[in-house]
Each structure stands twice: as structure tokens, then as C-alpha cells.
Amino acid sequence: MEQYGSMPLIGDMFPEVEVQTTLGKMVIPKDFQGKWFILFSHPADFTPVCTTEFYAFQQRYDEFKKLNTELIGLSIDQVFSHIKWVEWIKDNLNTEIQFPIIADNGDLAKRLGFIHPGKGTNTVRAVFLVDPAGKVRAILYYPQELGRNFDELLRMVKAIQIADNNHAAMPANWPNNELIGDNVIVPPASDIKAAQYKKSRYKNYDWWFCYKDLNDKSE
């Protein structure tokens, strides 16, 4: 088997690649400099689950753009196949796919770890969230038979951006966490003095579980 090196992991820089897309040639992540982007793979054009996914992504495209986040798809299909599929979606579902789709011969999919050995040569449903510095911030994998939850992808982008901007961590099911609602978690104390301060300063369950409202900008 041809070797492509290690796939990027969370915290790694996304490798620079030149690709052919439905909107022309692009260099990733260079062409998304200063923006977040989601690169996602789908098993194949002209398939039912993938069609529902592209429709769902496009319905939320404006919401992603409000978060300074671009979208780019990928599958092991030639560009003319992507173009015809995009045309089919426009003609039959009255929806114009406005984000680019990468035409791949399999090299990039292998490099990024998008092909599961037990699933033939089609890509799995992978998602890479990359920040404006080109760093991979989140990776999700879904099996071919399961369509993705696109509201969760939006939540993921919002939550990570808020965590960055507030030096905080985000609880389960944010913004509807069962314990602290839409509050965010304060970073843990590193010494006894800090632990005592945080417990007196913030709402908490204990010194190691303090939380605050998003409007509270204190450290």
C-alpha cells in the first residue's frame, strides 16, 4: 500500500495542498487564510444520503459564513461528476450549492485518512474543522450509512469560537447543558490560592468546577 504519512490530528497544522474544485483550483489552507473552514468528505456524488447532506449544508451556509466559516467538500469523483450533481441539485431541489467541491483521485483522501480499508475506495463521512491559523481544531467521522447532524456542526463551530474568545471550556450539550445551562466553564485552578479565588469569584459546584456567564469577561 502506498504510504502518505500520518493524517493530521487535532492541534496539527493542516497540510498545504493544491486541489481542483468546482470553483477552480485552490490552495488549502492558504486560500482560506483568516477564516475558519470545514473540509468534509462524502462517499460519492449522485447518492441519496450525500444529496441530503449537501442540501442541509447549503441551507445553513449563510449561518456558517456569519461565523467566518467556509465549506469545502470532497469525494473521489471527477470534477465533471461534481458539476453534473450540483446541476441536478439545483434543477430538482431548487438549491444552488455555493461552496466548492474537491475532485480527488484518491491521493488527498488517503493522505487525510478519509478512506476506511473495510469500506472499499469510497470516502467515509469525515469532517475537519480548521481555524484561521490553519490548525485542525476538531475531527469527526461518520459511517457511510449515517448522514451527519449539521446543526451539531454549527454548534461545534460556535462553541469552539466562544471557548477561544472567553478562555473557557464548553459543557456537554451547550448551550442547553443540564447542569449549567448556557454558562461556560472557567479554566481549572493551578494552585491553592487560585482555587480559593475561583471558588469565591464564580458560580461553582466546587473549586474545580467553576462556571460563568458569557457576559462575564473576567479571568
> What tens digit of pLDDT does each residue of 108-156 get?
988 898 887 666 677 889 999 999 999 999 999 998 889 999 999 999 9
In this prediction, residue 124 carries a pLDDT of: 84
Average pLDDT value over all residues in the chain: 92
Instruction: Give me the percent of the chain exceeding a pLDDT of 70.
Output: 94
3-state secondary structure the chain: CCCCCCCCCCCCECCCEEEEECCEEEEECHHHCCCEEEEEECCCCCCHHHHHHHHHHHHCHHHHHHCCEEEEEEECCCHHHHHHHHHHHHHHHCCCCCCCEEECCCHHHHHHCCECHHHCCCECEEEEEECCCCEEEEEEEECCCCCCCHHHHHHHHHHHHHHHHHCCECCCCCCCECCCECCEECCCCCCHHHHHHHHHHCEEEECCEEEECCCCCCC
Question: 53-102 pLDDT, tens per residue?
Answer: 999 999 999 999 999 999 999 998 999 999 999 999 999 999 999 999 99
- Which listed residue (50, 89, 103, 184) is catalytic? 50
In this prediction, residue 51 carries a pLDDT of: 97
Say yes or no: do domains 17-148 and 167-212 share a fold. no
For the cut 50, the answer to whether the pLDDT of residue 4 exceeds it is no
For the cut 50, the answer to whether the pLDDT of residue 33 exceeds it is yes
In this prediction, residue 120 carries a pLDDT of: 64
Mode of pairing for the β-strands spanning 69-75 and 36-41:
parallel
Q: Where are the domains of the chain?
A: 17-148, 167-212
| Fold assignment, 17-148 | Glutaredoxin (3.40.30)
210 among known catalytic residues: no
According to CATH, what is the number of the domain 167-212? 3.30.1020.10
Cα(first)–Cα(last) distance of the chain, in Å? 50
